[in-house]
Protein backbone atom coordinates (compact mmCIF):
# COMPACT_ATOMS: atom_id res chain seq x y z
CA UNK A 1 0.00 0.00 0.00
CA UNK A 2 1.23 3.49 -0.83
CA UNK A 3 0.20 6.70 0.89
CA UNK A 4 0.42 9.26 -1.89
CA UNK A 5 0.78 12.17 0.56
CA UNK A 6 4.20 11.14 1.82
CA UNK A 7 5.18 8.32 -0.55
CA UNK A 8 5.29 5.83 2.33
CA UNK A 9 4.95 2.24 1.13
CA UNK A 10 3.79 -0.57 3.41
CA UNK A 11 4.60 -4.13 2.29
CA UNK A 12 3.44 -7.40 3.85
CA UNK A 13 5.72 -10.23 2.71
CA UNK A 14 8.50 -8.38 0.91
CA UNK A 15 9.70 -11.58 -0.78
CA UNK A 16 6.64 -11.60 -3.06
CA UNK A 17 6.62 -7.88 -3.89
CA UNK A 18 8.95 -8.00 -6.90
CA UNK A 19 8.19 -11.54 -8.12
CA UNK A 20 6.12 -11.65 -11.30
CA UNK A 21 2.92 -13.66 -11.61
CA UNK A 22 0.25 -13.96 -14.29
CA UNK A 23 -2.00 -10.87 -14.11
CA UNK A 24 -5.18 -12.85 -14.86
CA UNK A 25 -8.14 -10.47 -15.07
CA UNK A 26 -6.21 -7.48 -13.72
CA UNK A 27 -4.95 -7.31 -17.32
CA UNK A 28 -8.40 -5.96 -18.18
CA UNK A 29 -7.00 -2.61 -17.01
CA UNK A 30 -4.41 -2.55 -19.81
CA UNK A 31 -6.64 -4.35 -22.32
CA UNK A 32 -9.36 -1.71 -21.78
CA UNK A 33 -6.95 1.21 -22.07
CA UNK A 34 -5.45 -0.09 -25.30
CA UNK A 35 -8.84 -0.98 -26.78
CA UNK A 36 -10.26 2.46 -25.96
CA UNK A 37 -7.20 4.34 -27.19
CA UNK A 38 -7.18 2.76 -30.65
CA UNK A 39 -10.95 2.64 -31.06
CA UNK A 40 -11.50 -1.10 -30.76
CA UNK A 41 -13.67 -0.12 -27.80
CA UNK A 42 -15.62 3.03 -28.65
CA UNK A 43 -16.64 3.80 -25.06
CA UNK A 44 -17.83 2.05 -21.91
CA UNK A 45 -21.25 1.44 -23.46
CA UNK A 46 -19.91 -0.57 -26.41
CA UNK A 47 -21.67 -3.93 -26.65
CA UNK A 48 -20.04 -7.14 -27.82
CA UNK A 49 -22.68 -9.74 -28.60
CA UNK A 50 -22.65 -13.03 -26.75
CA UNK A 51 -21.32 -15.84 -28.98
CA UNK A 52 -23.96 -18.29 -27.69
CA UNK A 53 -21.43 -20.51 -25.89
CA UNK A 54 -22.60 -21.40 -22.38
CA UNK A 55 -19.87 -20.77 -19.80
CA UNK A 56 -19.57 -21.45 -16.08
CA UNK A 57 -20.17 -17.81 -15.09
CA UNK A 58 -23.81 -17.01 -15.77
CA UNK A 59 -23.15 -13.26 -16.06
CA UNK A 60 -20.96 -13.90 -19.12
CA UNK A 61 -23.72 -15.64 -21.08
CA UNK A 62 -25.32 -12.54 -22.59
CA UNK A 63 -24.55 -9.40 -24.58
CA UNK A 64 -22.33 -7.12 -22.48
CA UNK A 65 -21.20 -3.51 -22.54
CA UNK A 66 -17.59 -2.79 -21.71
CA UNK A 67 -18.45 -1.49 -18.23
CA UNK A 68 -20.59 -4.56 -17.52
CA UNK A 69 -17.87 -6.88 -18.84
CA UNK A 70 -15.32 -5.15 -16.60
CA UNK A 71 -17.52 -5.45 -13.50
CA UNK A 72 -18.32 -9.16 -14.02
CA UNK A 73 -14.78 -9.80 -15.29
CA UNK A 74 -15.96 -11.39 -18.55
CA UNK A 75 -13.12 -13.35 -20.10
CA UNK A 76 -14.90 -13.86 -23.47
CA UNK A 77 -15.56 -10.12 -23.93
CA UNK A 78 -11.93 -9.21 -23.34
CA UNK A 79 -10.64 -12.10 -25.43
CA UNK A 80 -12.57 -10.60 -28.33
CA UNK A 81 -11.15 -7.15 -27.55
CA UNK A 82 -7.62 -8.61 -27.61
CA UNK A 83 -8.29 -10.31 -30.96
CA UNK A 84 -9.52 -7.01 -32.38
CA UNK A 85 -6.42 -5.22 -31.11
CA UNK A 86 -4.14 -7.83 -32.71
CA UNK A 87 -0.80 -9.23 -31.66
CA UNK A 88 1.53 -6.61 -33.18
CA UNK A 89 -0.41 -3.64 -31.79
CA UNK A 90 -0.80 -5.30 -28.41
CA UNK A 91 2.93 -5.94 -28.24
CA UNK A 92 3.71 -2.31 -29.07
CA UNK A 93 1.53 -1.12 -26.23
CA UNK A 94 2.89 -3.64 -23.72
CA UNK A 95 6.38 -2.42 -24.61
CA UNK A 96 5.31 1.21 -24.29
CA UNK A 97 3.76 0.55 -20.86
CA UNK A 98 6.71 -1.65 -19.76
CA UNK A 99 4.00 -4.02 -18.59
CA UNK A 100 5.69 -6.74 -16.53
CA UNK A 101 7.77 -9.07 -18.69
CA UNK A 102 5.93 -7.78 -21.83
CA UNK A 103 5.54 -11.31 -23.25
CA UNK A 104 2.49 -12.32 -25.28
CA UNK A 105 3.53 -15.82 -26.26
CA UNK A 106 1.57 -17.64 -28.96
CA UNK A 107 -2.04 -16.82 -28.12
CA UNK A 108 -3.41 -13.28 -28.44
CA UNK A 109 -6.58 -14.19 -26.56
CA UNK A 110 -5.13 -15.92 -23.50
CA UNK A 111 -1.57 -14.73 -22.85
CA UNK A 112 -2.59 -13.00 -19.58
CA UNK A 113 -4.08 -16.30 -18.34
CA UNK A 114 -1.52 -18.90 -19.49
CA UNK A 115 1.58 -17.55 -17.66
CA UNK A 116 3.12 -16.01 -20.79
CA UNK A 117 2.59 -12.49 -19.45
CA UNK A 118 3.68 -11.82 -15.86
CA UNK A 119 3.77 -8.76 -13.62
CA UNK A 120 4.86 -8.07 -10.04
CA UNK A 121 2.82 -6.42 -7.28
CA UNK A 122 5.30 -3.54 -7.32
CA UNK A 123 4.73 -3.04 -11.07
CA UNK A 124 0.95 -3.26 -10.62
CA UNK A 125 1.13 -0.50 -8.00
CA UNK A 126 3.06 1.74 -10.39
CA UNK A 127 0.50 1.15 -13.14
CA UNK A 128 -2.57 2.10 -11.10
CA UNK A 129 -0.81 5.12 -9.61
CA UNK A 130 0.01 6.43 -13.08
CA UNK A 131 -3.55 5.69 -14.20
CA UNK A 132 -4.99 7.69 -11.30
CA UNK A 133 -2.87 10.72 -12.18
CA UNK A 134 -3.34 10.57 -15.99
CA UNK A 135 0.34 9.67 -16.41
CA UNK A 136 -0.04 6.70 -18.74
CA UNK A 137 0.64 7.15 -22.50
CA UNK A 138 -3.07 7.39 -23.33
CA UNK A 139 -5.51 10.25 -23.89
CA UNK A 140 -7.09 11.70 -20.75
CA UNK A 141 -10.51 10.53 -21.97
CA UNK A 142 -9.26 6.94 -22.15
CA UNK A 143 -7.89 7.03 -18.61
CA UNK A 144 -11.00 8.77 -17.24
CA UNK A 145 -13.33 6.14 -18.72
CA UNK A 146 -11.30 3.40 -17.08
CA UNK A 147 -11.16 5.12 -13.69
CA UNK A 148 -14.94 5.41 -13.84
CA UNK A 149 -15.49 1.72 -14.58
CA UNK A 150 -13.01 0.71 -11.87
CA UNK A 151 -15.14 2.44 -9.21
CA UNK A 152 -16.75 -0.27 -7.08
CA UNK A 153 -17.94 1.68 -4.02
CA UNK A 154 -18.64 5.42 -3.93
CA UNK A 155 -20.22 7.21 -0.98
CA UNK A 156 -19.79 10.32 1.16
CA UNK A 157 -16.98 8.72 3.19
CA UNK A 158 -14.78 7.09 0.57
CA UNK A 159 -14.38 5.87 -2.99
CA UNK A 160 -13.00 2.37 -3.54
CA UNK A 161 -11.76 1.49 -7.03
CA UNK A 162 -10.18 -1.79 -8.05
CA UNK A 163 -9.89 -4.71 -10.45
CA UNK A 164 -9.63 -8.30 -9.31
CA UNK A 165 -7.95 -11.27 -10.95
CA UNK A 166 -7.75 -15.02 -10.36
CA UNK A 167 -5.67 -17.60 -12.18
CA UNK A 168 -3.20 -20.44 -11.69
CA UNK A 169 0.57 -20.49 -12.01
CA UNK A 170 2.66 -23.25 -13.58
CA UNK A 171 2.55 -25.23 -10.33
CA UNK A 172 -1.25 -24.92 -10.13
CA UNK A 173 -1.12 -22.51 -7.20
CA UNK A 174 -4.13 -20.20 -7.00
CA UNK A 175 -3.05 -16.61 -7.73
CA UNK A 176 -5.51 -13.93 -6.65
CA UNK A 177 -5.19 -10.17 -7.21
CA UNK A 178 -6.94 -7.02 -6.08
CA UNK A 179 -5.41 -3.85 -7.54
CA UNK A 180 -6.57 -0.26 -7.15
CA UNK A 181 -6.96 2.64 -4.72
CA UNK A 182 -9.09 4.01 -1.94
CA UNK A 183 -9.74 7.73 -1.80
CA UNK A 184 -10.83 9.62 1.31
CA UNK A 185 -11.08 13.41 1.50
CA UNK A 186 -9.76 13.57 -2.09
CA UNK A 187 -6.58 11.82 -1.02
CA UNK A 188 -5.64 8.49 -2.70
CA UNK A 189 -3.94 5.47 -1.18
CA UNK A 190 -2.90 2.84 -3.72
CA UNK A 191 -2.93 -0.87 -2.94
CA UNK A 192 -2.12 -4.23 -4.47
CA UNK A 193 -3.19 -7.48 -2.83
CA UNK A 194 -1.64 -10.71 -4.10
CA UNK A 195 -2.77 -14.01 -2.61
CA UNK A 196 -0.96 -17.24 -3.46
CA UNK A 197 -2.51 -20.48 -2.23
CA UNK A 198 -2.01 -24.22 -2.64
CA UNK A 199 -5.59 -24.89 -1.49
CA UNK A 200 -7.60 -26.11 -4.52
CA UNK A 201 -10.86 -25.23 -2.76
CA UNK A 202 -9.98 -21.66 -1.78
CA UNK A 203 -12.80 -19.14 -2.25
CA UNK A 204 -10.48 -16.58 -3.80
CA UNK A 205 -13.25 -14.06 -4.49
CA UNK A 206 -13.99 -13.79 -0.78
CA UNK A 207 -10.43 -14.17 0.50
CA UNK A 208 -8.81 -11.39 -1.55
CA UNK A 209 -11.61 -8.93 -0.72
CA UNK A 210 -11.61 -9.75 3.00
CA UNK A 211 -7.82 -9.46 3.25
CA UNK A 212 -7.75 -6.13 1.42
CA UNK A 213 -10.65 -4.59 3.31
CA UNK A 214 -9.35 -5.97 6.60
CA UNK A 215 -5.98 -4.29 6.15
CA UNK A 216 -7.54 -1.03 4.99
CA UNK A 217 -9.83 -1.06 8.03
CA UNK A 218 -6.81 -1.65 10.29
CA UNK A 219 -5.37 1.57 8.91
CA UNK A 220 -8.55 3.51 9.68
CA UNK A 221 -10.25 3.55 6.29
CA UNK A 222 -14.01 3.40 5.65
CA UNK A 223 -14.73 5.80 8.51
CA UNK A 224 -14.13 9.01 6.54
CA UNK A 225 -11.38 10.19 8.89
CA UNK A 226 -8.29 9.65 6.78
The one catalytic residue in 15, 25, 120, 174 is 25
Kindly report, residue by residue over 147-176, the tens digit of the pLDDT.
999 999 999 999 999 999 999 999 999 999
CA–CA dist 31, 131 (Å, integer): 13
More confident residue, 85 or 219: 85
What average pLDDT does this structure show over 14-21? Answer: 94
> What is the value of pTM for the model shown?
0.96
**Is 2-218 a domain of CATH 3.40.50.620?**
no
Percent of the chain exceeding pLDDT 90 equals 96
The answer, yes or no, to whether residue 226 has pLDDT greater than 80, is no
Confidence of residue 225 (pLDDT cuts 50, 70, 90): low
Kindly report, residue by residue over 161-215, the tens digit of the pLDDT.
999 999 999 999 999 999 999 999 889 999 999 999 999 899 999 999 999 999 9
The answer, yes or no, to whether residue 4 has pLDDT greater than 90, is yes
Is-catalytic flag, 25?
Answer: yes
Amino acid sequence: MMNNADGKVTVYNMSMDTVRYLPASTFKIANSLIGLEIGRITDEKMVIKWDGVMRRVEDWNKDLTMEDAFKVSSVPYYQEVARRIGKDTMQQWLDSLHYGNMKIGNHIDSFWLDNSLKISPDEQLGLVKRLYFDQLPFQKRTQQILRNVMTQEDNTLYTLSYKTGWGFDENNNSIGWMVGWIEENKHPYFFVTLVKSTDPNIDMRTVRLNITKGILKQYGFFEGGM
